[in-house]
Structure 1
Amino acid sequence: MHHHDLEHIADGVVGAAAIASTIIANPLLRAFYRKWGATEHEAHKPLPGDELIASPRMQYTRAISIKAPPAAVWPWLIQIGYERAGWYSYDVLEDMTGAGKFVDGESADRVVDALQTLKVGDQIKLHEHLSYTVRELEAPARMVLFDAREDHSSSWVFVLEDHEVHPDDPDTAAYAGGTRLLVRWRLDYEPSRSNDLMWKAFVEPINFVMERKMLLGLRERAEQR
């Protein structure tokens, strides 16, 4: 386990509290966090990788606006992962669950040149024994990840679009030349009461807290560099 400074430890405490409260309030929050940041159109429109799991039992689509062009966001995105640049999330919590082995110790605050050669067929690990395979990669537009196992299959897709600017919406003007990042996760699994409980009541809310932090961390890095 890594030595973390007080800032990272405090951040981890906040993350743990967020996870606990999200699990407790899950019935009320689920509709919100399944499309966090996304419009209704974005949440339902077809995206690359949808065909990998044609009839998912679970799906979410999240989105974030970034004041940096897709070409500037892309290097930060494709270096994510265990034994890579990290997740830009709650590093302390990743470390506690055995998923915190990153090239810089903590989530990287730099573009790691050695991690910029990602290609189709490569693995992006979540931890030592779980990984996604890169199924599609088109810079700087999309990264499609897929994992198939005996008891479940999932796709994790990142789509980078040029941010739209609407004359009747002055808030969008700040993102001219920027990126709209969409993230979609689709899951299929063997139906059972225990699986429903595990995925919907525990995995999904934990995923939301960690991924929300990841997207905010990705935005912070892309905008400041």
Structure 2
Amino acid sequence: MDIRHGRRNAPRRRGRVRFVLEGVEGLAVLAATLCTWPLSKRWLKNWGSSPAERGRAWPGDRYVAVEHDTRTRAIDIAAPAGAVWPWIVQFGLDRAGFYSYELLERLAGIPVTNLESIEPSMQSVAVGDEVRLHPKAPGIPVAHLEPGRSICFGESDAAGSAASRPDPARSWSIYLEPAAARSCRLLVRGCIEPLREPSWRKRLSLAFDGPLDFVMEQRMLRTIKRLAESRSPDEAGQS
């Protein structure tokens, strides 16, 4: 916590110019992704990840049924995992935001402000807590937490009754893997079960989910990378 003249600094938000430029980029990336998705989805669904990372069994995988589709996206960060984790743990609506295209988030009806500072008041999260993604949708529960390494969202009882589970059921997880000295891999992995009761509405929604997830997740990964790498060594050591 930075204190100056006895008062805590206000949370740092992205400036108006960055908001506009990133918004224009987001609209362009979204348009290009939608147009090319039938050809590019095989690569974009696993953007930045290695075959070993895609084939590995991750903690969040167990929160969906054995049969599921996965997407694994990753990025290298030139900062230790301990310097990246504080950005991850404060993720969510009414928290630090989603680190993605704020303009697109607002167009989707999400009144979010993505912070560019680590907030001590947002560093606490526990299994069972719910993190909200949209003001009109229920929160997603934290099913698994390993501080400094991973946070997984999903229904903790993958074998629960079908009536009590979303259709399709999903899990979504963020992982940090230490790499070389003072660097790490940041991964986002999503798992989704087949539809139990297919309908044209659900199929249409899933058809758009793929490209939208790529657009927002790649920007989230790149933003967290920028924020973590821009901190000074002294600041990183205080995380």
- Taking structure 1 as the reference length, the TM-score comes to 0.85
In the alignment, structure 1 residue 160 sits paired with structure 2 residue 171 = no
Which deviates further from its counterpart, 126-135 or 81-90? 126-135
CA-based RMSD: 1.8
The answer as to 2:238 corresponding to 1:222 is no
| Aligned equivalents of 1:113, 1:22: Cα separation in 2 | 36
Secondary structure (helix, strand or coil) at the match of 2:223 reads: helix
Q: Counterparts of 1:1-20 in structure 2 under 5 Å?
A: 5-20=16-31
The answer to whether the aligner puts 1:209 opposite 2:215 as a matched pair is: yes
Query: Contact 2:79–2:182 (CA<8 Å) still a contact in 1?
Result: yes
1:58-137 to structure 2, matched below 5 A, reads 58-101=69-112, 106-128=113-135, 129-137=137-145
Which residue pairs with 1:55 in the alignment? 66
Match of 2:11 in 1: none
For structure 1, the 5+ residue unaligned runs are: 166-175
CA 1:23 to 1:149, structure 2 compared with 1: closer, same or farther past 3 Å? farther
Counterpart in 2 of 1:169? none
Q: Distance in 1 between matches of 2:139 and 2:146?
A: 20
- After superposition, the C-alpha distances for 1:70-118 in whole angstroms (9 at most, x for unaligned) are 11100000101111101111111111212233xxxx3111101111011
Runs of 4+ in 1 over 4 A off after TM superposition: none
Q: Measure how far apart 1:41 and its partner are.
A: 1.1
Which residue number in structure 2 is paired with residue 182 of structure 1?
A: 187
Change (3 A) 1:65 1:50: same
Counterpart of 1:22? Answer: 33
Q: CA deviation at 1:192?
A: 3.0
Q: Percent identity?
A: 35
Aligned residues: 206
**CA distance change for structure 1 residues 182 and 150 in 2, over 3 Å: closer, same or farther?**
closer
Point out where structure 2 has 5 or more consecutive residues left out of the alignment: 1-14, 156-163, 232-239
Larger Rg: 2
The alpha carbon displacement at 1:6 in A equals: 3.9
Q: Given that residues 121 and 134 in structure 1 are in contact (C-alpha distance below 8 angstroms), is that contact kept between their aligned partners in structure 2?
A: yes
Question: Does the Cα contact within 8 Å between 1:86 and 1:100 map onto a contact in 2?
Answer: no
Paired amino acid for 2:152: V
Which residue in 2 is equivalent to 1:141? 149
Higher strand fraction: Structure 1 or Structure 2?
1
Q: Secondary structure at the match of 1:222?
A: helix
Q: Which amino acid aligns with 2:149?
A: A
Contact 1:146 1:155 in 2 (8 A): yes
User: How far off is 1:160 after superposition?
Assistant: 0.9
Q: How far apart, CA to CA, are the structure 1 residues paired with 2:41 and 2:199?
A: 18
SS in structure 2 of the partner of residue 126 of structure 1: coil
Distance between the aligned counterparts of 1:42 and 1:151, measured in 2? 27
2:139 partner SS: strand
